[in-house]
Amino acid sequence: MKHAASRELYQYWNRVRGVEPAPQRSVIEPSDLRRILPDTFILEVSEPARYLVRLAGTRVCAIFGRELKGTDLLDLWQGEDRSAMATLAAAVSQDGAAAVVTVEGLTMREASVACELLLLPLRHGGPAFDRVLGSFAALGRPSWLGSEPVIRQTITSLRLIWPKERPGFFRRKTDFQPDAAPVPLPARSSRRHGHLFVVDGGKQ
């Protein structure tokens, strides 16, 4: 994870979930996240495959130049990127995976900014992962950010983290094995298997 907000949010989420695959929504305390609260959001997962923004921080909304409450997360993407995000969101909300996505955001005049998106499963009372805690933060601060909205975005890489695993920055050196490189999407050589993509290739 490249952005400090992503790392802090993941560490908090990992701590409050304990031995569970995901924490309950009720244990998330905004005051615990006050430093990164402007970069965070909460989604409500509903059928069929909708991910509605329930709350969004001020810096997240500023990137897009509008209030995001009530927006479907998937509506922020187009074409193959929308399909990839739907697959990724399903892995989070159905399988309890965490997801880190690198994004290139573009304005109307084609100015670009790299951002990092983090998605973490939550439970809202029952066993289902029916909420998602996330962050969306710019990796740089171009002078126009906040005055020119990002109107479209593309995925440049993504990584899934499964609950029983620990990302590299939590491992001891004696446990360390290099993570696989982030998978660029869309992958032309990939094929669909359930709600996941299978990418041809691997070790020779």
pLDDT given for residue 99 in this prediction: 96
Please name which of 192, 183, 189 lies closest in space to residue 201, comparing C-alpha atoms.
189
pTM of the model: 0.80
Are 137 and 187 contacting, i.e. CB atoms less than 8 angstroms apart? no
Please name which of 198, 195, 159 lies closest in space to residue 86, comparing C-alpha atoms.
195
Per-residue pLDDT of the chain (204 residues; tens, 9 = 90+): 999 999 999 999 999 999 999 999 999 999 999 999 999 999 999 877 899 999 999 999 999 999 999 999 999 999 999 999 999 999 999 999 999 999 999 999 999 999 999 999 999 987 889 999 999 999 998 999 989 999 999 999 999 998 665 443 333 343 333 444 444 444 444 444 454 444 444 444
Residues 6+ apart with CB under 8 A from 107: 144, 148, 149, 150, 151
Q: Give dist(CA 24, CA 47) in Å, integer.
A: 20
Domain assignments of the chain as residue spans, ordered by start: 4-199
Are 118 and 9 contacting, i.e. CB atoms less than 8 angstroms apart? yes
CATH tag, 4-199:
3.30.450.20
Element (H, E) at 60: helix 58-64
Q: Give dist(CA 82, CA 88) in Å, integer.
A: 10
Please name which of 159, 166, 121, 92 lies closest in space to residue 28, comparing C-alpha atoms.
121
Q: Give dist(CA 39, CA 178) in Å, integer.
A: 28
